[in-house]
């Protein structure tokens, strides 16, 4: 086994080639035009498990609204989530919000030039702390994300699996050796830039690599054999039934539980299809919960939508059923057509309001009515906005008499910001996207 001995490629030669290449070929990205540690922190959190082109507009809008840790710390969570919606991995937004409050409480709103202090912030791992400290403060600390792992494993021919502790330690050791010298921030960014644009997972462009001739994997003729991986990512496949329940110009929504999938965001009522249960049986089970909660029976529309939605390690096969509620009851604390979002943490009024989901029931709050024109005031995941958009397109094609209570033209759901990961389709098609293309393993693990 090749253990990448210290007698391998000369670190000084590697540094020189990388920094020279980076200065000449790096992409012009807004977070590279600043050494403001807060801005660097925001960019690194956003780039965890997210493509650069997806993160760009969010980064600019976020800093325009929250130009400092003090501004972010003073904002309500609802506003932070609303600005983040569509970017995914919503736990990052909450942790960044919490980190800003820690910075205000402990450091006067400034990011301290200390690796351990930055590492202790919520949502910050070794990679993110290393990136912030090296880029903003020129501290000689490594920043090893998935791109850097790939470059280092190929360059030195590291045969230990990069997804095991021994392999990660070896790659971190190599990165620590390389970063000792002038411009550590530029060196770290050069390694990541090389992995993102040249030393790619598939079909690396070895002919354009500044390290050609030094790279073990390149000389082998099989660069894609590195980094070595011991385990493959497995999808958790789940069937999910979703109900778009209307009453006039309002739609029923619930709030997902904190700590769970897309925690704290608003959504259409949903439930996992149970083993041995047909789709219609799952629909009727969820419909019975909604009817009991809303105080009246549901009328189902014949049109059904289905599709697929991919999370980091989970895949939802969903079906959306449209219904009209004839009940007059407004759930406790319910919102009217123009009402703002109901308060966070409202408890469900009883078992009728609980919808089964693995590993157990969620109790994120009672079902609420919200006006279709006011959905932009709620933080919602891309999935739910896309489902609502598709539902409105279906309803718009129905005769007006088949859509009770809707006044005039069917409202258009407020458009989401970019960043959705798959597109729902009418039956019988399914969306087709996969997990590829995201920036790998940056900092703390991304959360669904």
Question: Are the C-beta atoms of residues 320 and 384 closer than 8 Å to each other?
Answer: no
Cis check: omega of the bond before 40, within 30 degrees of 0: no
Cis check: omega of the bond before 27, within 30 degrees of 0: no
- Joined together, the tokens standing for residue 274 give 């149970």
CA dihedral 304, 90, 80, 85 (to 10 degrees): -30
Cα–Cα distance measured from residue 127 to residue 108, given in angstroms and rounded to the nearest whole number: 24
For residue 108, how far is the Cα from the chain centroid? 29
Task: Provide the annotated active-site residues.
Answer: 44
Q: Which 8-state DSSP code applies to residue 379?
A: -
Beta strands in 167-249 (DSSP E): 236-247
For 160, 221, 270, 368, 410, the CA distances from 347, given in Å and listed in that order, are 50, 61, 18, 12, 32
- Joined together, the tokens standing for residue 144 give 């090893």
Beta strands in 204-297 (DSSP E): 236-247, 250-255, 266-267, 270-272
Q: Which residues contact 334 (CB under 8 A, 6 or more apart)?
A: 342, 366, 367, 368, 369
């Amino acid at each position: 086994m090749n253990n990448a001995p210290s007698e391998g490629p000369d670190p000084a030669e590697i540094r020189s080639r990388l920094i020279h290449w980076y200065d000449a070929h790096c992409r012009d990205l807004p977070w590279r035009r600043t050494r403001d540690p807060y801005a660097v922190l925001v960019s690194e959190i956003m780039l965890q498990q997210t493509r650069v082109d997806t993160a760009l507009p969010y980064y600019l809008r976020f800093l325009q609204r929250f130009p400092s840790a003090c501004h972010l710390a003073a904002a309500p969570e609802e506003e932070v989530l609303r600005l983040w919606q569509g970017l995914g991995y919503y736990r990052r937004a909450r942790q960044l919000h919490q980190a800003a409050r820690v910075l205000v409480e402990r450091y006067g709103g400034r990011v301290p030039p200390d690796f351990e202090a930055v590492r202790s912030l919520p949502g910050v791992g070794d990679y993110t702390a290393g990136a912030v400290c090296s880029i903003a403060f020129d501290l000689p600390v490594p920043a090893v994300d998935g791109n850097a792992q790939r470059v280092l494993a190929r360059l030195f021919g590291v045969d230990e699996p990069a997804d095991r502790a021994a392999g990660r330690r070896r790659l971190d050791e190599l990165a620590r050796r390389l970063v000792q010298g002038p411009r550590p921030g530029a060196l770290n960014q050069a390694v990541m830039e090389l992995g993102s644009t040249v030393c790619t997972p598939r079909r690396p462009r070895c002919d354009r690599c500044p390290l050609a001739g030094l790279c073990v994997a390149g000389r082998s003729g099989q660069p894609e054999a590195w980094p070595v991986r011991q385990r493959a990512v497995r999808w958790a496949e789940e069937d999910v039934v979703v109900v778009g329940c209307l009453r006039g110009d309002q739609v029923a929504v619930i709030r997902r539980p904190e700590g769970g999938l897309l925690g704290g965001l608003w959504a259409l009522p949903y439930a996992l299809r149970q083993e041995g249960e047909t789709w219609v049986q799952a629909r009727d089970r969820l419909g019975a919960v909604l009817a009991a909660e809303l105080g009246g029976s549901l009328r189902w529309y014949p049109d059904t939508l289905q599709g697929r939605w991919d999370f980091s390690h989970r895949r939802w096969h969903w079906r959306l059923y449209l219904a009209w509620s004839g009940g007059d009851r407004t759930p406790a604390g319910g919102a009217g057509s123009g009402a703002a979002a109901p308060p966070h943490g409202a408890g469900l009024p009883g078992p009728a309001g609980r919808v089964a989901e693995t590993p157990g029931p969620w109790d994120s709050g009672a079902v609420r009515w919200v006006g279709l024109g006011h959905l932009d005031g709620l933080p919602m995941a891309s999935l739910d906005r896309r489902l609502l958009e598709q539902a409105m397109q279906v309803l718009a094609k129905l005769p007006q008499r088949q859509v009770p209570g809707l006044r005039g033209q069917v409202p258009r759901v407020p458009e989401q910001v970019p960043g959705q990961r798959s597109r729902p389709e009418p039956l019988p098609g399914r969306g087709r996207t996969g997990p590829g293309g995201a920036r790998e393993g940056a900092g703390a693990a991304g959360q669904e």
